[in-house]
Amino acid sequence: MRLTALLVAALCWLAPDLANAQDAAAIIAENRDQIEKPSRQTIGPVIAALAASGDAMADDILTAWAEKRLVVRKSDDALFLATPDGDGFLLTGLDGTPAGTAAKSDLTELKPNAGVRGVIAAALVQFTLSDPSPARRRAALDSIARDPTPETLEPLRASIASETDPELKALKERLERFLTLSFDPDSAARVAAISALGSDTSLDVRAALNPLVATTRVAALSKPDGNVARVLGVGRDLTEVEAYDLLVVAGLAPARLTLEDQRTALVANIVNDTVGGVPVAELDTQAARDRAYTALERAGTVPTAATDDEAKAALAMHGFFEVYVEPDPAVTSAARSALAGIETRVGMMRAADLGLDALSLAAIFFLAAIGLAVTFGVMGVINMAHGEFITMGAYTGFVVQLFVPDYTISLLVALPMAFAVTFAAGVAMERLVIRHLYKRPLETLLATFGISIALQQILKNVFGTQARPLTAPGWLDGALTFNDVVSISYIRIAIFVLALLFLAFFLYLMKRTRLGLEVRAVTQNRTMAASMGINPDRINMLTFGLGSGIAGIAGVAIGLYAKVTSEMGADYIVQSFMTVVVGGVGSVWGTLAGATMIGSLQKVIEFLNPSNTLSAQTYMILFIILFIQVRPRGIIALRGRAAGD
């Protein structure tokens, strides 16, 4: 196979007199006899000369020959390329000029055998790989990758040096390594290809290397001559049943005798109250029954089968081995080393991917909880309807998209619209309910819980129970992919950026504005703030409205990738409270730290127990119970007077 491929690679020393300043027609004319009666061993130099001629017709001639369209006209014994045309054929000369038509009966087809067609196909690969069109060269690479054969290796190698497109050259070099790995008989070349591929962590590299370290289990009287991976111990690496099955498969022992089959055979062969010379009265032990069956085997009365003692003896006589399917030890050693390095890098990439997932989930939790952190921290109100404000924001985005079909514009409209709607709802809730329940946490919790249920039912009545689509703009489709392992969707990146913007907004609001100063004053000491001319009721109203409005914006962001239903907020209310409590009530930085901890913990638990992701919340709650025993005020606790409230 390698010799044929070398011939096809158009090396001039294989046909020094054929390719010198000759066109394809002249080469065909000089080698007419070999072309009409070709053989795989002798036709290589002719095809190599055609490939090296540089004649544009060489590709067409080889294609026609492989497709049995190279014909001889009987009237003048001339060669033509034939194209079917109705009941006859259109003829083309070897120089590309039209030559009229001919009936099928006037032509003799030149039919190369399978071996010659394989050499021609390899030569055609070289033509395509060196085609002036980059698109055709790429198509040829794709074709080889889909159906690799040994004949394509040398033409591919020959085309690399002349490749001018850097991207295609890299693809050719990579594909050449795969073909070398599979088809090159040179062990050193295969090891070099493995070393070159070993730094690549893509799935196709692992798929190519894994078969090289695949093993099979065999049984033998002594250590086999193949590429043995390890010696197997009966009872340690495989059970006695598995070991004996290997003996049976290898033809080294008969099938195991079952007790039922043995009993049936003994009963069927009772003669004069004896079985195989053993009295029936003595067949009360397994050893006696085995002796009787063995005697029947010697007499040819029953099929040969192994009793327990015979099976144990056979196991003791033979060895069991794990043997590599790949016979070359150097190749398997290189493949093992490459796979070990790849697994290490893949493990690091999985950790990075897990970190990205944790950060994106933390951003979602931060957006969902930051509004709650403000109301809970400043007002001390446990708002169980916070999740429904998130849902209202998501539904606001859905309604906006009904009237604004452009998804980018609708998103820009939906964000402030969701803030306005939920801000107004929050202010109304604070004025009508919350203000009458200050300093009464149990009544506040029950009231907001009731409002939560009422809002869910209202949303069900208005929008129904089916999930509603909130479509992201086209520029948020897809994911930022670093490699086969590490990627993150553009929607999650957008949510992460939005979370950072809100963090910056809150820091500015609380540190640089009068409203932030008044909020901090009320948080520190409500009575003292009131004595300084600050209206605590007004601050409470604005704070509650602000927290509710932010929840609405979070609902739009979350709705871009999650299902929008009336129960949507319930999926985030627990995480929101956990984020606020763990991070530290009333602290924006604490909320960020809590979201990061909760998001990371959930992703780690899901990674360790991927079959049951619902258990993550259970484990998180247990962790948080233990955590608040150690830090009851959270990661970043408030300082000053408010810390003692």
Q: Per residue in 204-263, pLDDT tens?
A: 888 888 888 899 998 888 888 888 889 998 888 888 888 888 888 888 888 877 788 778
Please state, in angstroms and as integers, the Cα–Cα distance from residue 288 to each residue in 272, 274, 293, 605, following that order: 17, 12, 9, 59
Of the candidates 375, 341, 300, 291, the residue with the CA atom closest to the CA atom of residue 549: 375
pLDDT at 4 over 70: no
Report DSSP state, residue 86: T
Give the strand pairing for 78-85 and 278-279: unpaired
pLDDT at 167 over 80: yes
Question: 200 near 338, Cβ under 8 Å?
Answer: no
Confidence of residue 2 (pLDDT cuts 50, 70, 90): very low
Residue 363 is predicted with a pLDDT of: 87
Strand order in the sheet with 215-220: 215-220, 319-324, 228-232
Give the strand pairing for 487-489 and 274-275: unpaired
CA torsion angle 172 175 181 182 (round to 10): -120
Residue 136 is predicted with a pLDDT of: 80
Of the candidates 543, 494, 496, the residue with the CA atom closest to the CA atom of residue 518: 543
Question: 376 near 543, Cβ under 8 Å?
Answer: no
Q: Which of these ranges, 42-56, 362-376, 417-431, 458-472, has the smallest mean pLDDT?
A: 42-56
CB proximity list for 226: less than 8 A, separation 6 or greater: 323, 324, 327
Report the predicted TM-score, pTM, of the whole model to 2 decimal places.
0.63
**Average of per-residue pLDDT across 300-327:** 85
CB proximity list for 354: less than 8 A, separation 6 or greater: 603, 604, 607
556/437 Cα distance (integer angstroms): 30
pLDDT at 424 over 90: yes
Share of the chain above pLDDT 90, in %: 5
- Beta strands (DSSP E) in 148-279 are 215-220, 228-232, 274-275, 278-279
Phi and psi angles of residue 79, each rounded to the nearest 5 degrees, phi first: -95, 140
Please give the mean pLDDT across all residues of the chain.
81
Confidence of residue 535 (pLDDT cuts 50, 70, 90): confident
For 570-606, write each residue's pLDDT tens digit: 878 888 888 888 887 767 788 888 888 888 888 888 8
Where are the domains positioned within the chain?
Answer: 2-129, 215-324, 347-569
Show the DSSP H helices in 433-525 as ranges.
441-463, 490-512, 514-524
pLDDT at 8 over 50: no
Residue 377 is predicted with a pLDDT of: 66
**Average of per-residue pLDDT across 442-448:** 86
Question: On the CB side of 320, how many CA atoms lie within 13 Å of its CA?
Answer: 22
pLDDT at 9 over 60: no
Question: 256 near 311, Cβ under 8 Å?
Answer: yes
pLDDT at 645 over 70: no
Is the model more confident about 605 or about 10? 605
Confidence of residue 641 (pLDDT cuts 50, 70, 90): very low
Work out the angle at residue 447's Cα, subtended by the Cα atoms of residues 434 and 587, and round it to the nearest 5 degrees: 55
